[in-house]
Chains A and B, each alone.
Chain A
Amino acid sequence: MSRSPLLKTAQSKQTGRQQAPENTPTVADGTLPARVSEAAVAAGVDITAALDRLGGNQGLYQRVLRMFIDELTNIPAQLAACVTKGEAQCAMRVLHTLKGQAGTMGAMALSAEAADGEKRLAGGLASDDAERLVRQTSAAIAAAGPGLAALLQALQVAEAPMAAPTTSLDTDAVLTLLRTITRHLQNADMAATDTMADLQRQFGGALGEQLQPMDEAIGALDFDRALRLCNALIDDFTESQPA
C-alpha cells in the first residue's frame, strides 16, 4: 500500500526509532504529554475520548491514526467515483465509514462533516449537489490532514524514550511467542495483537525490522498475510537454531 504524502511527512521527521509496542504505558490517567495534547487540540481531535476507547493505549492510537491518515487520502477519489456513476448509496457508504472512523479517532469535526454529507445524500444525488459534496468533503479532509499529521508526529516524539531496548535474543522464547501468534491468527483471535505487543516489547530492540511487516499486517487485521509472515519467521528462527 502506498503511503500518503501526509504520512510521509510525519514519518520523515521520525529518526530511526523502533516502532512503539502497543503496550506502551496508558495515558488515560491524565499523563498525556503536553505536546500531544496541544497537537490534538490544534487538530480538533478529542484525544481523551479516543484514547479511552482504546484502553488508553497510546501506541495503538498512534498505529490506527497512521492507518486513518493513509486511508483519508483515498476518500475523495472514492467519493468522486460514486458520484460519477450516479450512485448515492455508494457515496453514502463512503461517508458513513468516514463518519465512524473519524468519530472513533476523535476527529469530531471531520466526523460531523461526513455525517452532514450522508444526511444530504439520503434524499438522492442531484449532480450539482453531489459535486459540491465531493468538493466540501475533500476540502474538509485536506484541512484536517496537516493537524492529524502533526498529532502523529507528536505521538512519535512522545514515545521515543519508551522504544524497546536492544536485548539479547532468546530464540526459544521468540519461537514460543511466534507459535502463540500463529495459533491466535488461525483462530481470528484478537489476542494476536496482545502477543505481538509482547514480542515487540521483549525483542523489538533486536528484531524490530524483521517483525515490522507482521506487526503491520496484524495491526491492519490482515491475518492471512500476518500468518504467512509469522510462519516464515518461525522457519527462519527454526533453521537458525543449532541442530
Chain B
Amino acid sequence: MNIPKPVEADLIAGVPALTQRRPRLLVVDDQPVNVHALHQTFSADHDVLMATSGEQALALCASEQPDLVLLDVVMPGMDGHEVCRRLKAAAATCDIPVIFVSAYNDEAAETLGLELGAVDFISKPINPKIARARVKTHLTLKAQSDLLRDYREPGRLQHE
C-alpha cells in the first residue's frame, strides 16, 4: 500500500528544487538610479527585469510571470498602488508577490500597500542586505505556496 507522504515533507523537499533556477524579479521604478541599485543588489543570483512605468509593468507581469515584483509607489501616469490593484485583480498575476519599495516611510503608506495585497514594504534608500533578506523570504514563501497548491490541485500546471 502506498502511504502518502505528509504535505510538509514535500514542501520542505520541493523548495530547493523550485529555487534551483534563478528567480526572476521585476523592478518597477521611473528613476533609473533606483532600478540600477536594485539590479546591483540582486543580479548575482536573480534575473532582473525592469519597467519604468505602470503600464509596462503590467504587460511584463502578464508576459514574463516574474517570481516577485519590487514596485515603486510614486510614478508618472499609473502609480504603484494602481499597478498592485490591477495585478491582484487579474487571475494570471494575482499570485505574484509584490513588495513596495518607496521613499514613503510612514505607517499609512505602508498599511495601504499591504491592504492592496503587497506582501512587504522596503524603504528607500534601500539597505541591500535587508532587501535581499526580505526578497529571499518572500520567494521561499511563494515557492511553498505554489507547491502546496500543486499538492492540493494535482491537475494544475506545475510551476516551471
Contact = CB atoms under 8 A, between A and B. Distances in A.
Interface of A: 49-50, 52-55, 57, 60, 64, 67-68, 93, 96-97, 99-101, 103-106, 111, 115, 187-191, 193-194, 219-221
A53 B126 contact: yes
Given A188-B50, A188-B51, A221-B52, A96 B104 contact: yes
B100 to A, nearest CB: 12
Interface of B is mostly: mixed
A122 to B, nearest CB: 9
Contacts of B34: 100-101, 104
A221 B56 contact: no
Which 6 pairs of residues, A with B, have the shortest CB-CB distance? A55-B40, A100-B103, A103-B125, A190-B48, A190-B39, A64-B33
Nearest to B105: A115
B40 to A, nearest CB: 4
B146 to A, nearest CB: 23
Interface residues of B, number: 31
A68 B31 CA distance: 10
Given A93-B74, A194-B43, A221-B52, A100 B125 contact: yes
Contacts of A190: 27, 35, 39, 43, 48-50
A99 B50 CA distance: 21
Contacts of A194: 43
Nearest to B42: A190
B31 A101 contact: yes
Given A49-B125, A53-B128, A96-B74, A104 B50 contact: no
Contacts of B32: 64, 67, 219-221
A49 B34 CA distance: 14
7 contacts: A54-B36, A93-B74, A96-B74, A100-B103, A104-B33, A105-B33, A219-B36
Interface in B1-36: 27, 30-36
B37 interface: yes
A84 to B, nearest CB: 19
B124 interface: yes
Contacts of B104: 96
Interface in B113-146: 124-126, 128
B60 interface: yes
Given A96-B74, A187-B64, A52 B128 contact: yes
Contacts of A187: 49, 64
A220 B52 CA distance: 10
Given A64-B33, A188-B50, A190-B49, A97 B124 contact: no
Given A99-B103, A100-B103, A188-B56, A60 B40 contact: yes
